[in-house]
Amino acid sequence: MTRVLLTGFEPFDGATRNPSWEAVRLVAADAPDGLEVTPLRLSCVFGQAVDELRAAVRATDPELVVCVGQAHGRPDISVERIAVNIDDARIPDNAGRRPVDEPVVAGGPAAYFATLPVKACVAAVREAGVPASLSHSAGTFVCNHVFYALMHLIAVERPTTRGGFVHLPSLPEQVLEQPVPSLPTASAAHGLRALLACAAGRSIDVHTFEGTIH
């Protein structure tokens, strides 16, 4: 059994639900064969979320860590490729914190790449019938904050652990009055299962075109 730590976030910015946690709960309740999935709901708070993640990593000793967040406006499951060492919050977090131009880790590298086979994961989600893409920006809010902190933890303390970050679209009920893409929880969970199975089953990525021009 491959030990997997799968995290989602609590609601933020006035919402009552977060698609990341809703999907993570479904995946943990019906995990892919061969995977022992531990779910964790992170606070949407700078610093605190990282403390919660670190504690869970110590407690579960995972071989694979996949953190999941919400990206309002995105049309598909976005597999993140790179985390950057900056916090620059457009809105306050759930504790009212709003860092501007601050490093996630003082003195840390400018960026880290995910250690998942990101392009293979995108392909696996698509093969499962769920829209997916490779993303080159996880933003500068708490999602990127957690993503960077995870990869720094792996680089410094856990070189045999692999990790990465995935963004989900909003829930259908969150965009009823807006022309914004959404994804039902069951579809998001189905895509995440395919992604986890792929990430656990291979370490070498595929060589395909997933770049951007802008």
Tens of pLDDT along 76-110?
999 999 999 999 999 999 999 999 999 999 999 99
Is residue 49 domain-resident? yes
Is residue 206 domain-resident? no
Catalytic residue among 80, 145, 152, 190: 80
For residue 68, name the pLDDT band (cuts at 50, 70, 90): very high
pLDDT, greater one: 211 or 130:
130
What's the number of domains the chain is made of?
1
Residue 198 annotated among the catalytic residues of the structure: no
Is residue 213 domain-resident? no
Is residue 184 domain-resident? yes
Average pLDDT of the residues of the chain: 96
Res 59: pLDDT: 98
**Tokens describing residue 61:** 């000793």
* pTM score of the predicted model: 0.96
Catalytic residue among 44, 67, 121, 143: 143
Residue 10 annotated among the catalytic residues of the structure: no
Is residue 207 domain-resident? no
**Tokens describing residue 200:** 């656990």
Residue 80 annotated among the catalytic residues of the structure: yes
Is residue 149 domain-resident? yes
Res 213: pLDDT: 80
Tell me: pLDDT of 176 over 90.
no
Tell me: pLDDT of 42 over 80.
yes
Res 212: pLDDT: 86
The CATH number that applies at residue 48 is: 3.40.630.20
Res 177: pLDDT: 74
Q: How far apart are CA 198 and CA 206, in angstroms?
A: 11
Res 179: pLDDT: 84
Beta-bridge partner residues of 175: none
For residue 121, name the pLDDT band (cuts at 50, 70, 90): very high
Percent share of the chain, pLDDT over 90: 94
DSSP three-state, residue 41: strand
Q: How far apart are CA 188 and CA 186, in angstroms?
A: 5
Question: Sign of the C-alpha dihedral, residues 6, 87, 158, 162?
Answer: positive
Is residue 121 domain-resident? yes
Res 214: pLDDT: 72
Domain that holds residue 134: 2-201
Is residue 81 domain-resident? yes
Return phi, psi of residue 209, to 5°.
Answer: -85, 115
